[in-house]
Chain A
Amino acid sequence: EPEVTQTPSHQVTQMGQEVILRCVPISNHLYFYWYRQILGQKVEFLVSFYNNEISEKSEIFDDQFSVERPDGSNFTLKIRSTKLEDSAMYFCASNPDRIKETQYFGPGTRLLVL
């Protein structure tokens, strides 16, 4: 069964450094999302992406964040200058189209900012 994959599974970085989190959505899906989950808290929406542009973003998704689909398969989340409070699990999700609404999540990247 097709799955959303994410790399790396874990990332440790120093405060102020840039990180890029990578996702490969399910191949025939058209809508892509990033969510984050701070330890012990609920999953929070960050951004949605469709047709090579951001569709919607949350308050969390400030100028330090950016997303890109550099090729036909990868979907990336970049944090330009990481802060301690960026430490969280970051999940990528995708769904096929507007009719099929179920989002399928990847396993996540655990980001730790020191």
Chain B
Amino acid sequence: GESVGLHLPTLSVQEGDNSIINCAYSNSASDYFIWYKQESGKGPQFIIDIRSNMDKRQGQRVTVLLNKTVKHLSLQIAATQPGDSAVYFCAEKALGVSGTYKYIFGTGTRLKVLA
């Protein structure tokens, strides 16, 4: 079946270092992916997205890389800050029968930023 999963459940990084969070997906037909950030007690917050016709997309301090050959997605956070501490989910767009969307979420990686 379809699945989206994460390699590391917890990632600890020093403040100022770069963070890399990884995600594997299994549906080779997926054409759109999102990274969400979830802080404690809050809903998922959109960070960055990427379509399957791209292999890299950059935002402010964040970069998403997509490797369709090995069905791998990563989120890179530059100069990690304490406010980046959260759980990060990758989500894969799945097309429903009626043409609407749902997202299949990975299990999440907790990022801890050490002062």
Tell me how many residues of B have a C-beta within 8 Å of chain A: 26
Q: How large is the interface on A (under 10, 10 to 19, 20 to 34, 35 or more residues)?
A: 20 to 34
Residues 61-79 of B contacting A (Cβ, < 8 Å): none
Compute how far the CA of A59 lies from the CA of B42 in the bound complex, rounded to whole angstroms.
25
Contact (Cβ within 8 A) A108 B103 = no
For B105, the chain A residues whose CB sits under 8 A away are 42-44
Decide if A7 is an interface residue (CB 8 Å cutoff): no
Partner of A48, one of B49, B100, B108: B100
Query: Are A91 and B43 CB-contacts (below 8 A) given A42-B106, A42-B107?
Result: yes
Residues 30-74 of B contacting A (Cβ, < 8 Å): 32, 34, 36, 41-46, 49
Listed by A's residue number, 7 A-B pairs whose Cβ atoms lie within 8 Å are A4-B43, A95-B101, A101-B32, A101-B101, A102-B46, A105-B44, A107-B41
Apart from A56-B100, A105-B46, list 19 A-B contacts with CB within 8 A: A31-B100, A31-B101, A33-B102, A42-B105, A42-B106, A43-B91, A45-B103, A55-B98, A56-B98, A95-B101, A98-B99, A101-B49, A103-B46, A103-B101, A105-B43, A105-B45, A108-B41, A108-B43, A110-B41
Query: Which B residues lie at the A interface, using CB under 8 A?
Result: 32, 34, 36, 41-46, 49, 89, 91, 93, 96-108
List the 7 closest pairs (A to B, CB-CB), nearest first.
Answer: A56-B96, A105-B43, A55-B100, A43-B105, A45-B102, A55-B98, A48-B100
